[in-house]
Amino acid sequence: MNPFAYTSPKSTGEASSLATSKDHSLPVLKSGGMDLLDRMKEGLDTPGLVIDLTRIDDPALDRIEAGRIGARATLAAVSDDEAIRESAPMIAQACGSAATPQVRNVASVAGNLLQETRCWYWRMERFDCVRKGGEGCPAREGEHRFHALFPEGPCLMVHPSNLAPALLLLDGSVDVVGGPRTSIPMADFQPDPARDWRSTSVLAPGEVVTAIRFDPAPNSGFVALKQKQSFDWPMVSGYAVLDLDGDVIRSARTCAGAVAPRPRLLPAVDAALAGVSIRDDAAIRKACDAATEGAAPLPGTIYKKTLLPVAIRRAVMAAANPGGDA
């Protein structure tokens, strides 16, 4: 790991100023450090200054309430929070399913949204690729079984965050300080991967995330299909929000995770679910099959075409029955 200076600012405003300071090369913000320290150890990030947000004395950064979560709240705290479990169970489930208990006790909400790709070629310093500013994509001809089912642009990565699709589906937004704006809609938080395949977000240098906001959705659900049930990212994940009239789905919104470089909304599924009874298993299955419309699998990701409708259907059932088993 490169030598670096460390600082613990007293406010997010000070953190923002330090992040654009010319006194150090490549200053970087750190929350839980779960992703950042891995990147530093591999030599992928070589900051001259690490700006630690965990010592800022501001309870709002950790506060969790219906519709708003402080940026520094841990995934464990979110998944255990009664207000979130009732008002937006999909958010609690997405946070509670990520990683391991140890990681969730440290990992922050902001860091989860801003974690870098899990592409193993990207994660190893010795490989070069377009996402690193070089040439080509070794995953295309190489080992890509956890990569995209819906590639967009030259990088075949999938977005790694459990939380990002949930926030998108709930018309969420990200509060920021340190720039010209105070809020970024989640729909705009990630760049279009066909135009910018290098950035994890549209945040400008010096912008610090302070909270996320989202609409309530008591009938919402998340399901991850994983190779192993802990210590891993999903192969495919499904997200659903339902508006129910008794047993009938008045309207639905669904989204897929781990299949594209950014969360993928599924309007064809939403349209097919409208008017369907949650007891009509055949109709739900048929509607969820539309999740693969537009898929362009790589040889190694064809299996995701089978998994995706299953994940979406289970998420729909979880949303219909938020307190029960999916």
Helices and strands, number each (H, E), in the chain: 14, 12
- 163's enclosing H/E stretch is helix 163-169
Choose one: 1-9, 92-100, 151-159, 213-221; the region binding ligand FAD (CB under 6 A). 92-100
| The one among 79, 162, 190, 301 contacting ligand FAD by CB under 6 A | 162
* Token pair for 165: 């699709």
Alpha carbon distance 75, 108 (integer Å): 6
CB of 257 to ligand SF4, least distance (A): 17
| The one among 84, 155, 157, 208 contacting ligand FAD by CB under 6 A | 208
Choose one: 158-166, 247-255, 277-285, 293-301; the region binding ligand FAD (CB under 6 A). 158-166
DSSP letter string over 95-147?
HHHSS-HHHHTT-BHHHHHHPPP--HHHHSTT---GGGTSS--HHHHS--TTS
Q: Which does 130 bind (CB under 5 to 8 A by kind): ligand FAD, ligand SF4, none?
A: ligand SF4
- 265's enclosing H/E stretch is strand 264-265
- Residue 157 or 307 with smaller CB distance to ligand SF4: 157
Distant-in-sequence contacts of 278-281, Cβ < 8 A, 24+ apart: 278/242, 278/244, 278/247, 278/248, 278/249, 278/316, 278/317, 278/320, 279/247
DSSP letter string over 291-320?
GGTT----GGGTHHHHHHHHHHHHHHHHHH
Check binding of 161 to ligand FAD (CB under 6 A): yes
Query: Interface mask (CB under 6 A) for ligand SF4, residues 164-193, using x and -?
Result: ------------------------------
Query: Interface mask (CB under 6 A) for ligand SF4, residues 137-156, using x and -?
Result: xxx-------x-------xx
| The one among 114, 119, 224, 249 contacting ligand SF4 by CB under 6 A | 119
CB of 274 to ligand FAD, least distance (A): 30
- Residue 17 or 201 with smaller CB distance to ligand SF4: 201
CB of 282 to ligand FAD, least distance (A): 31
Check binding of 110 to ligand FAD (CB under 6 A): yes
Cα-Cα-Cα-Cα torsion 106, 108, 112, 118, nearest 10 degrees, comes to: -20
> In the beta sheet, which residues pair with residue 30?
52
Among 234, 224, 242, smallest CA distance to 314 is for 224
Alpha carbon distance 160, 112 (integer Å): 8
CB of 145 to ligand FAD, least distance (A): 16
Hey, which residues between 33 and 62 contact ligand SF4 (CB under 6 A)? none
The gap from C-alpha 13 to its chain's centroid, in whole angstroms, comes to 25
For residue 180, the tally of other CB atoms under 10 A from its CB is 7
Which residue in the shown chain puts its C-beta closest to ligand FAD? 111
Q: Which does 103 bind (CB under 5 to 8 A by kind): ligand SF4, ligand FAD, none?
A: ligand FAD
Check binding of 35 to ligand FAD (CB under 6 A): yes
Hey, which residues between 227 and 256 contact ligand FAD (CB under 6 A)? 231-234
Choose one: 65-73, 100-108, 130-138, 312-320; the region binding ligand SF4 (CB under 6 A). 130-138
Check binding of 190 to ligand FAD (CB under 6 A): no
Alpha carbon distance 289, 309 (integer Å): 5
Binding region for ligand FAD (CB under 6 A): 28-36, 53, 71, 98-100, 103, 106-108, 110-112, 114-115, 160-162, 208-209, 231-234
